[in-house]
Amino acid sequence: MRLRQKKLREGIQIREGDHLKRYLLKLDEDKIREMYQGKGFSNIDVKSEEKKTDGYVDITFKIQEGSKIYIKEIVFEGNQTFSSERLAKIIATKRRKFPSFIFSGKFDKSKFEEDIDKVKAFYGSGGWLDADITWKEQYGSDRTKMFIHVLVDEGERYYVDNVSIKGNKLFTSDEIIDMLELKEGSAFLPESLQKDSEGIRMAYGKQGYLNANVKAEYTYQQVAPKIDITFDVLENERFFIEKVIVSGNDKTKDNVIRRNLIFFPGERVDTQKIKQSEQILTGTGYFDNQSGAASEITYLPGTKYNTKNVVVNVKEGRTGMLRFGGGFGANSGLFGDVSYTDKNFDIFDLPKDWKDFMSGNAFRGGGQTITMRFSPGLQRTEGVFSFNNPAIFDSGYSLGLSANIFRRAREDYDEERKGFKMSVGKTVFRGLRLGVTPNFEVIGIQNIDDNAPSIVKDQEGSSKKLSLELTAMLDRRDNRMSPSKGYKITSSLEFSGLDVDMIKFITKGTVYHTVFNFPDWRGKHVLSYGGTLGVIEATSDEPIPIFENFFAGGANSIRGFAFRGVGPIDDTTGEQIGGKALLLATAEYTMPVYGDMVRGALFVDAGKADSDLNDMNFNNLRATLGFGFRAKIPFMGNSIVAIDFGFPFIRKDKDDEQAITFNFGGQ
């Protein structure tokens, strides 16, 4: 017996000492049969026998296991529109192949019937409404190999012939038809019919018609595979906002919530603005995202028949977080990390007493962010204290203050930076943010090796730098952590004085596209591409210090080369000294390996660092091809382990190559 008696007994419902219920015998026969089929025994035969003794009945289940069967081949027949490879991706049942401990080829009839339904639904979703999918099996001579034939009768594809609108007053029929995916002559897609109905409702919702109802009906023509569609619209009443009521915020101030709303009393109700406001509130991080209901906006009747009170209900979350962690990076070495961050800080909410402070009720609810972080490492140590108010006095301007200390062991010297900066920013419109940042730094170059380049030795000691940086950021990504569409562009222009006289310009951008989204793989295939351009120009006769130069190579630069492994070199020592111009380009294709927990990547990186802008040409360009993996670690706050293998195919003799780039960080 291939299955243990203990497991079989646990799977059936009949128990010793129970009254005999014969309907349970049939159910238990089916259950045993199902358990065996789940292990690949498709020819299992199960029968129950009864034997009466002294007022009791002994039940015996007679089991003929047969041979264990695995799927040798799955063949699709009759499919003309879609390839067999495409249809095979839809079904969960797979043939046996190497390695067999992963692809066992086990046959489960009930699951395969579900697969057949998936294929039929796939055809139906594309307009083949009469598609008929059946299957038959054949066996090898030893009854252990199974050959499955999936028989596809596609039928004809249905197309839309006429689209008509009824009951509409606010919009003309032509205006509504222009909103639709389904138009005359297009293939009939049931999913698009639902989307179009919802799209019409959303269009009315944006105009204040909260209770607009759209009923979609379609009829088959008798003489051709064509469909006539009718959208019946019931507009109902138009509503305006009387009051905005905030609730659930026992810590966050009302004004903090209201300044994140993009709708106001007196306006007509706009369901799109309502939804965007919910997303904005969720994105602030002030509220509880774990439950999936960080914010919820509902409606109550106003004092007039055509008014609504909009209720914004939030669920307070934990915004203060103390973190301990560490990691390893190819660019930074081994490091630790201790940090405290509060995203809903309030510098003006002073504690009433010690108990108020210890309970966590003080310094809360102002929507400000405070961060204290210390990250010691073997090659790099950093400490940061920062404060940011995203809306000074509820205006559209933000204010940020930060102090930092940074130490880095370079190849031939140690670099130390101590600085303080203040930033003022403003969101001009959705996604576009402008900023101005005055910054003061003291930079030290020390512990210089004897064989260091002369440019390093000439800058030994401390240098003071006073700068003003202008920044612009346009962020239209769908998700900041794992973007799959949209783009992000950042630019900065820095003017520096005192001991460092220069102008530095940097602009970078990345575009994201979802190429495929296969539900059975539980993840998206995403193509991203972008580049970076950097230029430094001296504003005095003094040379630009090495600590301001551009270097290329390593993670987030040109993988396949070492960190700072590409660029101008010192003629005497052969060491990298960086340049005044930087050009980088990258294209990366990521795909799910195990959902979004483990993703694979294919990439092409190219770029260079040159002595100045006049040297920027394609003669010194480096380029690499490679692949890698990214894995999320849930118990470490979804921190990501990234490993990339880069292989240069355009290089220079004195470049410092490094095939493997490894980054790990956890909290």
pLDDT for position 327: 63
Are the C-beta atoms of 140 and 72 separated by less than 8 Å?
A: yes
Backbone angles phi, psi at 472, to 5 degrees: -145, 135
For 5-9, 358-362, 394-398, which range has the lowest pLDDT when averaged over its residues? 358-362
Pairing, β 461-475 against β 432-446 = antiparallel
For 192-201, 273-282, 319-328, 436-445, which range has the lowest pLDDT when averaged over its residues? 319-328
Distance in Å from the first CA to the final CA of the chain:
49
CA–CA separation, 227 and 192 (whole Å)? 14
Backbone angles phi, psi at 85, to 5 degrees: -65, -40
- Residue 443 predicted with pLDDT over 80: yes
Pick the residue with more confidence: 638 or 391?
391
CA–CA separation, 582 and 578 (whole Å)? 9
State the pLDDT confidence band at 666, using cuts at 50, 70 and 90.
very low
For 11-25, 178-192, 390-404, which range has the lowest pLDDT when averaged over its residues? 11-25
- Residue 186 predicted with pLDDT over 90: yes
* Complete domains list, the chain, with CATH: 5-64 (3.10.20), 70-153 (3.10.20.310), 159-234 (3.10.20.310), 240-314 (3.10.20.310), 466-666 (2.40.160.50)
pLDDT for position 246: 95
- What confidence tens digit (pLDDT) does each residue in 452-503 have? 888 888 888 899 999 999 999 999 888 776 788 899 999 999 999 999 999 9
pLDDT, averaged across the chain: 87
- SS3 labels along 140-203: CCCCCEEEEEEEEECCCCCEEEEEEEECCCCCCHHHHHHHCCCCCCCECCHHHHHHHHHHHHHH
pLDDT for position 590: 93
Are the C-beta atoms of 329 and 664 separated by less than 8 Å?
A: yes
pLDDT for position 636: 52
- What confidence tens digit (pLDDT) does each residue in 614-628 have? 766 777 899 999 999
- Residue 521 predicted with pLDDT over 60: no
Backbone angles phi, psi at 176, to 5 degrees: -70, -40
**5 contact partners, CB below 8 Å, separation of at least 6:** none
For residue 484, the number of C-alpha atoms closer than 13 Å in the C-beta half-sphere is 11
C-alpha to C-alpha distances, 329 to 247, 341, 565, 629, nearest whole angstrom = 45, 23, 15, 15
Closest CA to 231 of 291, 160, 303: 160
CA–CA separation, 233 and 659 (whole Å)? 62
CA–CA separation, 491 and 494 (whole Å)? 10
The reported pTM is: 0.68
- SS3 labels along 362-374: CCECCCEEEEEEE
pLDDT for position 123: 96
- What confidence tens digit (pLDDT) does each residue in 216-241 have? 999 999 889 999 999 999 999 999 99
- What confidence tens digit (pLDDT) does each residue in 362-404 have? 888 888 999 999 988 888 899 999 999 998 988 889 999 999 9
CA–CA separation, 61 and 12 (whole Å)? 11
Tokens 């989204």, residue located: 517
Query: E strands of 78-158, at which residues?
Result: 132-139, 145-153
CA–CA separation, 268 and 241 (whole Å)? 6
- What confidence tens digit (pLDDT) does each residue in 524-570 have? 899 999 999 999 999 998 889 989 999 999 888 999 998 888 888 88
Backbone angles phi, psi at 28, to 5 degrees: -70, -35
